[in-house]
């Protein structure tokens, strides 16, 4: 049986729509009054130097476990006891969430929306990490038809039920929903659920978004210089 034509673009949030905390160490250090270079863990940008990240990738700990540990560590650096990721994110990134949105994400989301592609987010921890007021402070999220957030469903990717939930919310077969995530385990789960996928490369966001839009016959707009962001 042939796969249905793609109708919806389903995005993970952190790392795909927003830049990762690994990419914004300088912003975090300035926001928290830490010396430049204090935060040395680099996750996917330098796995060899981040044993905790490697443990997460090996399924020895969960992604939430990884960020719980980093949250406690950074809180201790500023002399505070941080227990939840939303404290870390909000203190590190301040009151302007737009500042950490990937420009490639903004371009791709608006391009897809203008072309009539339906948009959804499937996240394990959007409100858990970013806080409940975040959605109202980021106008881009108004373009999404539905947001399925395990903060409330308590069903984490790569559980097959998580993908089923977004298909049900969109009232589409999963084969018509292109899923984009930066974690291989979540991509594997989506493939098992029957979704076409794009494994998002945080080091090459323009390339990943171009691949995602390509499923719909669309192209990522070039920069003003005409050069793709990843070049």
Same domain, residue pair 159 and 123: yes
**Which of 69, 96, 123 lies at the terminal end of a domain, its last residue?**
96
pTM of the entire predicted model: 0.89
Mean per-residue pLDDT, 110-138: 92
Q: Is residue 2 part of a domain?
A: no
Burial class (CB in 10 A: 0-12, 13-18, 19+), 214: middle
Average pLDDT value for the chain:
92
Same domain, residue pair 121 and 151: yes
Q: Is residue 151 part of a domain?
A: yes
Q: Is residue 155 part of a domain?
A: yes
Other C-beta atoms closer than 10 Å to the C-beta of 54 total 13
In this prediction, residue 223 has a pLDDT band, given cuts at 50, 70 and 90, of low
CATH number at residue 208: 3.40.50.1000
Same domain, residue pair 123 and 202: yes
Residue 228 has pLDDT above 50, yes or no: no
Same domain, residue pair 110 and 209: yes
Q: Is residue 192 part of a domain?
A: yes
Q: Is residue 1 part of a domain?
A: no
| Separation between Cα atoms, residue 21 and residue 121, nearest integer Å | 19
Q: Is residue 190 part of a domain?
A: yes
Task: Look at residues 85, 170, 96 and name the one whose alpha carbon lies nearest to residue 125.
Answer: 85
Same domain, residue pair 200 and 134: yes
**Both structure tokens of 14:** 């952190």
Q: Is residue 230 part of a domain?
A: no
The total of structural domains in the chain comes to 2
In this prediction, residue 160 has a pLDDT band, given cuts at 50, 70 and 90, of very high
Same domain, residue pair 76 and 116: no
- pLDDT at residue 225 in the model: 30
Q: What is the pLDDT of residues 65-79, one digit of tens each?
A: 999 999 999 999 999
Same domain, residue pair 109 and 207: yes
Query: What φ, ψ does residue 66 adopt, rounded to 5°?
Result: -55, -50
Q: Is residue 72 part of a domain?
A: yes
Domain that holds residue 29: 25-96
């Amino acid at each position: 049986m042939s796969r249905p034509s793609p109708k919806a673009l389903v995005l993970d949030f952190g790392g795909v729509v927003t830049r990762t905390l690994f990419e914004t160490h300088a912003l975090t250090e300035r926001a928290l009054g830490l010396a430049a270079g204090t935060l040395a863990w680099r996750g996917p940008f330098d796995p060899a130097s981040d044993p905790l990240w490697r443990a997460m990738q090996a399924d020895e700990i969960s992604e939430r476990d990884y960020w719980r540990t980093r949250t406690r560590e950074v809180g201790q650096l500023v002399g505070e006891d941080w227990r939840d990721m939303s404290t870390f994110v909000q203190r590190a990134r301040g009151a302007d969430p737009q500042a950490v949105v990937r420009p490639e994400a903004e371009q791709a989301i608006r391009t897809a929306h203008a072309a009539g592609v339906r948009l959804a987010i499937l996240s394990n921890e959007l409100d858990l990490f970013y806080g409940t007021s975040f959605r109202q402070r980021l106008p881009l999220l108004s373009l999404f038809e539905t947001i399925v957030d395990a903060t409330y469903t308590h069903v984490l990717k790569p559980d097959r039920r998580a993908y089923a939930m977004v298909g049900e919310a969109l009232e589409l077969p999963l084969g018509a929903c292109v899923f984009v995530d930066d974690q291989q385990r979540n991509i594997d789960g989506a493939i098992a659920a029957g979704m076409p996928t794009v494994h998002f490369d945080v080091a090459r966001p323009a390339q990943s978004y171009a691949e995602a839009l390509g499923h719909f016959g669309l192209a990522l707009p070039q920069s003003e210089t005409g050069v793709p962001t990843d070049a």
